[in-house]
Structure 1
Amino acid sequence: MNLIAIDIGGTTIKIATWINQKLKMAFTIDTPDNLDTFYEELTDAVNEIKANHNIDGVAISSPGAVNKATGVIEGASALPYIHNFKIVPELEKRFGLPVSIENDANCAALAEIADGAAKGCSSMAFLVIGTGVGGSIIINNQIWHGAHLYGGEFGFMIIDGKQLSELASPVTMAKRYNKKTGKDFDGKTVFELADTDDPIAQEEREKFLHALAVAIFNIQHSFDPEKIIIGGGISQNPELVPLLDDEIAKLINKIKVTTIKPILDICTLKNEANLRGAVADFEKEH
């Protein structure tokens, strides 16, 4: 099956081909600021590729809560013009091809289970740690969207009276540190400062790790996935998984009613994940 894969981002849109089971970047375009230009530029891109390849469909990764049953991108994102109407049939009409759309975090999870850190698993949880905390759940090789399309929205978890996104985001960790110190450091710097004799950095990193460990413990014992994969910029810090393993071990030793230790891993596909996952989603849907 030959496909065009599209990853819609707030700033740029990536466009690739999936031919002979290989993903190849074609080009990127600036994300338009209105629906008419969005339609026009995507249609031009699809037609350009169709002129040179026999294409069977278009696989799209998108922000927002994608309702597969209705073809509507619900929720909200930095691109308000793509939401709350039946966009799938509109795109199919313009492209002259079948179209699938899935949420970008769900696409990243599908990519990791198809060709990444969770390959060979039939279940996994995917945590995306950035400005907030998001993610995805896959059960029996299928995305668990949930009754209200909130499956995998781990950032809404309440831990110690606060949302996980407040406690386990590098951005909010840095904000807490900067408020106490008057500095202007990012999360990466604060995380690394905790390895020095900076007690405030150590305190804030411990809050971050504890909240994330509690969330991982709860996910493991609620859904019991084979693996829990971590994405986002901070996932590339080699200390993250060992530190989380230690924090989770403390929880297990304290609670004593379970011996299940979550298997943590880091996402591997990075910049290609949303495109590869969009392909996997199309293949499941069509």
Structure 2
Amino acid sequence: MSIVVFDIGGSSVKYGSWQGDVLVGKGSFETPKSWDAMKNEMKSVFDGFAATDSIEGVAISSPGAVDSVAGIIGGISAVPYLHRFPIKAEWENLFGVPVSVENDANCAALAEVWLGAAKDVQHALFIVIGSGIGGAVIVNRQLFKGKNLFGGEFGYMLLDGENTLSRLGSPVQVAERYGKAMGLPDGVADGKYLFERATEGEPLAVQFVDGMIDALARGIYNLSVSFNPDRVIIGGGVSVREDLIARIRERTAYHLNEHGAEAVDPDIQVCAFRNDANLIGAVAHFRQTAG
């Protein structure tokens, strides 16, 4: 018996089959433009796996504010046709097996709790740093989603009178502002470009990266004194940059010491899973709910 897994993103849908304790048959297809096209693509993948193995269920990682009990995806995302209808029921009718669906950042956190960087702790915060900043709250090894499913939406945190953590701490958004300040054509300055220019010593790039690191440290400071978790886990593209993670740790400690909260000692770690995190976490969610 295996579980077919999908991770729906704005540009592509990744998939695989969880067999025993490993993810096999991994692949992807371009995110379709319509719901009908999405169902056709997903059914084709499902049928391919079903031809060689019996399928226990389907586990799905999705953008948006996922009400996994009601089976409806609220909020907004880069895949607008997924929202505000009984999507889980349609998927179960499509596949003919139990289906679970959970928010993508929550899935990534569940993967870390199950098999990754939070497998040995009770309480953790998972911060995903990308085009915006999302995350998840883990209490007693369980997701805490909140009354309105906003638990873990750390990017909405205000860091000053008008700027959110997403605006000041996302490498994508910081790089866009850097590009405009330098008069570069749209699309030239992405996170990688910004970091490279900062490493070369370009003064404005250094200033922008410093500001981004400070914003992330302030966000972790706020979360640390609010939740005092066993561990803070950072995911997203910046998690591969050990130099940045070290500077975030250092700057967070500075803010804690500066404001008399030096007794709070957040254990800031990087995620164990990268591209497969959402798929593995979707399996964990299926086992907790549908399985």
The TM-score normalised by the length of structure 1 is: 0.94
Residue 246 (structure 2) aligns with: 242
Paired residues, number: 286
Secondary structure of the corresponding residue to residue 59 of structure 2: strand
Residue 121 (structure 1) aligns with: 121
Q: Which runs of 5+ in 2 are unaligned?
A: none
8 Å Cα contact 1:134/1:153 also seen in 2: yes
Residue 271 (structure 1) aligns with: 275
Residue 91 (structure 1) aligns with: 91
C-alpha distance after superposition, 1:104-134 (max 9, x if no partner): 1111111112122222222211111111111
Q: CA deviation at 1:196?
A: 4.5
Matches within 5 A, 1:18-33: 18-33=18-33
Residue 17 (structure 2) aligns with: 17
C-alpha distance after superposition, 1:10-29 (max 9, x if no partner): 22222211111111134322
8 Å Cα contact 1:3/1:19 also seen in 2: yes
Matches within 5 A, 1:1-286: 2-161=2-161, 162-183=163-184, 184-286=188-290
Q: Which deviates more, 251-260 or 266-275?
A: 251-260
Partner Cα separation in structure 2 for residue 282 and residue 157 of structure 1: 30
Partner Cα separation in structure 2 for residue 129 and residue 26 of structure 1: 24
Q: Which runs of 5+ in 1 are unaligned?
A: none
8 Å Cα contact 2:228/2:264 also seen in 1: no
Secondary structure of the corresponding residue to residue 25 of structure 2: strand
State the identity as a percent: 43
Secondary structure of the corresponding residue to residue 225 of structure 1: coil
Amino acid at match of 2:114: A
8 Å Cα contact 1:5/1:15 also seen in 2: yes
Pair 1:36–1:175, CA change in 2 (3 A): closer
The TM-score normalised by the length of structure 2 is: 0.92
Pair 1:28–1:201, CA change in 2 (3 A): closer
8 Å Cα contact 2:253/2:262 also seen in 1: no
8 Å Cα contact 1:188/1:234 also seen in 2: no
Q: What is the RMSD of the two structures over their aligned residues, measured on CA atoms?
A: 1.7
Amino acid at match of 1:107: C
Secondary structure of the corresponding residue to residue 70 of structure 1: coil
Partner Cα separation in structure 2 for residue 129 and residue 24 of structure 1: 27
8 Å Cα contact 2:172/2:190 also seen in 1: yes
Partner Cα separation in structure 1 for residue 218 and residue 19 of structure 2: 42
Secondary structure of the corresponding residue to residue 270 of structure 1: coil
Q: CA deviation at 1:192?
A: 4.0
C-alpha distance after superposition, 1:140-165 (max 9, x if no partner): 11111111111111110000221111
Secondary structure of the corresponding residue to residue 6 of structure 2: strand
Partner Cα separation in structure 1 for residue 198 and residue 34 of structure 2: 44
Partner Cα separation in structure 2 for residue 257 and residue 120 of structure 1: 25
